[in-house]
Amino acid sequence: MLKAKGKQTRAEIRNHALLLFAEKGFKKVTMNDICVSTGLSRGGLYRYYSNPAEIFGDILKIIIQSMGDELAKNLKGGKTPTESLDIVLQKLKEDIQNTQTTLTIALIEYCHIYGAKAVESVFSRGTEIWEEFIKYGISQGEFNDVNPKAMASTILILYEGARAGVNLISYSDDFVSGLIECIRYMIVKKPEEK
């Protein structure tokens, strides 16, 4: 019971911190900002996290993990690879359009301070999740016989690239739909090929 509450508090801290990192970048966010935003006391916050970097690292891990969980949940729930893909692509589309949660600048700042290691391991975990999923879709005859690892990296780069771009230019809904359609086109076999 208490453990569950702790888990929930950590999640709430991350949700608040994510919005702050997206708004201000990494460097400018202090533990005090996070106290104010969450309404936790200093002591309360420090029970869960010792510094913003720890929270940021956790946010990155959980973004990737929840993408993997989503794919796994859909497949376990009896969805086909193509149906699972469509659900996750819809989620990615919403992410791309939600500039309030775009971490590009925070990510660049974080890497300048802590080096690339943390981000590399998150990226390679993300690649593994997608690679597994694409392999499974190929084995089921639904996905194109592509290089699963290359395709996995391409999806992540497109996703991160689109999120980075949204900081610079405003996307129309058509634009984002087009991107998602292209990812789908790369992955899913056309009906006549099945």
- Check binding of 59 to its own copies (CB under 8 A): no
Which residue number, 31 or 111, has a Cβ lying nearer to its own copies? 111
Q: How far is the CB of 154 from its own copies (least distance, A)?
A: 4
As given in the structure block, the two tokens for residue 62 are: 């959980």
- Check binding of 75 to its own copies (CB under 8 A): no
- Check binding of 101 to its own copies (CB under 8 A): no
The answer to whether the beta carbons of residues 129 and 62 sit under 8 Å apart is no
SS3 percent helix, strand, coil of the chain, rounded to 5, is 80, 0, 20
DSSP code for 193? G
Q: How far is the CB of 185 from its own copies (least distance, A)?
A: 6
Give the span between the Cα atoms of 122 and 85, in whole angstroms: 21
Contacts of its own copies in 155-184 (CB under 8 A): 157-158, 160-162, 164-165, 167-170, 175, 177-179, 181-183
Rounded (10°) angle between helices 148-165 and 81-97:
20
* Burial of 32 from C-beta contacts in 10 A (0-12 / 13-18 / 19+): exposed
Q: How far is the CB of 122 from its own copies (least distance, A)?
A: 9
Return residues touching its own copies (CB under 8 A).
104-105, 107-108, 111, 116, 119-120, 123, 144, 146-147, 149-151, 153-154, 157-158, 160-162, 164-165, 167-170, 175, 177-179, 181-183, 185-186
